[in-house]
């Protein structure tokens, strides 16, 4: 999430009541989740296992639960609960509507048709010549390009599935990101595309999604991808351009799939994949899979 205007380290520290290590006027441009964080942004970390990853990330402000050596050119915000305070920062700078307030600031381009049963949130932009079918739900801050088709029952901009467990209960990281649908995308019936935690979930130009597909928070789908029914893609994945994904593929969080890859039906993707054709519950190169099958049959 990028703030409407730059803040200072002192301002952020005062909002959350944290100890700061760094200059009062150290610039803070926004917040972001570790997979997408950029220079000038805050990232949070609340477990020693991930200290190094956070401290060595692109983030220049680290919200952390212990005072540690601050890397050169960076600043720290020391908090007894970084998860809670990350939420506090995000909701301070982003209003959460959740369809409870009167509709406002919705831009709709020329030639776009929106069925009367569709539900639109706030701060939405929809381009030209789009077709929004019945019972579509479009959440706050969603951006839709030109010539986009969204079929019935699809939900854009639901909350991210991002929780921690505290005292036996689940505590949610509040989603203040959005969804971006680029030009010439088609999305089928009953798909669900979660908004980013602090950044954007993106469906690239010319991509086609079948029915009943789930795409998690902060995932980026490239241009001209083809995704078949019942595929589930977890958060923070990067699917590069012209990837074909057949039915019931499941993808773990944070993986990258190289351009031009084909994932055959029911693949399980638990790691980054180079360009190729893959199959199997734990995805492996298809020719290798066939060779193994032949060897097994020859044992009989």
* Residues forming a β-bridge with 256: 238
Q: Is the pLDDT assigned to residue 289 strictly greater than 80?
A: no
Single pTM value for the model:
0.93
Given a cut of 80, whether residue 168 has pLDDT beyond it is yes
Average pLDDT, the chain: 95
Q: How far apart are CA 192 and CA 26, in angstroms?
A: 39
Stretch(es) of the chain classified as CATH 3.40.1390.10: 2-93
Q: Where in the chain is the domain with CATH 2.160.10.10?
A: 106-288
Q: Is 213 helix (H, G, I), strand (E, B) or coil?
A: coil
Does pLDDT of 300 surpass 70? no
Class of domain 2-93: alpha beta
pLDDT of residue 100: 83
Listed residue (260, 263, 296, 253) closest to 36, CA to CA:
253
Instruction: Write down the CATH number for the domain with range 106-288.
Output: 2.160.10.10
Within 13 Å, how many C-alpha atoms sit on residue 44's CB side? 21
Which residues, 6 or more positions from 275, have their beta carbon under 8 angstroms from its beta carbon? 258, 259, 260, 261
Quick one: tokens of 215?
């795409």
Q: Which residue has the tokens 């009953």?
A: 190
**pLDDT tens for residues 23-61?**
999 999 999 999 999 999 999 999 999 999 999 999 999
Give the pLDDT confidence of 62-107 residue by residue, as tens digits.
Answer: 999 999 999 999 999 999 999 999 999 999 999 888 888 777 789 9
User: For the sheet containing 61-64, what is the strand order?
Assistant: 2-8, 27-31, 41-45, 61-64, 75-78, 19-21
- For the question of residue 217 being annotated catalytic, the response is yes
């Amino acid at each position: 999430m990028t703030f409407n205007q730059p803040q200072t380290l002192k301002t952020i520290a005062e909002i959350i009541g944290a100890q700061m290590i760094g200059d009062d006027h150290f610039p803070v441009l926004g917040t972001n989740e570790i997979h997408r964080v950029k220079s000038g942004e805050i990232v949070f970390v609340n477990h020693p296992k991930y200290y190094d990853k956070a401290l060595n990330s692109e983030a220049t402000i680290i919200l952390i639960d212990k005072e540690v050596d601050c890397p050169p050119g960076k600043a720290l915000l020391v908090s007894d609960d970084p998860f809670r305070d990350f939420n506090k920062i995000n909701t301070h700078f982003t209003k959460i509507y959740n369809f409870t307030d009167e509709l406002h600031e919705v831009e709709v381009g020329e030639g776009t048709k929106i069925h009367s049963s569709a539900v639109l949130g706030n701060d939405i932009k929809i381009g030209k010549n789009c077709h929004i079918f019945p019972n579509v739900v479009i959440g706050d801050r969603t951006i839709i390009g030109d010539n986009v088709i969204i079929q019935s029952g699809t939900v854009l901009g639901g909350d991210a599935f991002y929780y921690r467990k505290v005292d036996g209960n689940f505590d949610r990281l509040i989603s203040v990101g959005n969804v971006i649908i680029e030009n010439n995308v088609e999305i089928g019936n009953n798909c669900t595309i979660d908004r980013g935690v602090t950044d954007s979930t993106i469906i690239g130009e010319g991509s086609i999604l079948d029915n009943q597909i789930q795409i998690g928070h902060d995932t980026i789908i490239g241009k001209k991808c083809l995704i078949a029914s019942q595929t589930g893609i977890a958060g923070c994945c990067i699917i590069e351009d012209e990837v074909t994904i057949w039915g019931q593929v499941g993808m773990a969080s944070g993986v990258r799939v190289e351009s031009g890859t084909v994932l055959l039906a029911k693949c399980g993707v638990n790691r980054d994949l180079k360009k190729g054709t893959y199959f199997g519950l734990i995805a492996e190169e298809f020719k290798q899979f066939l060779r193994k099958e032949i060897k097994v049959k020859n044992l009989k």
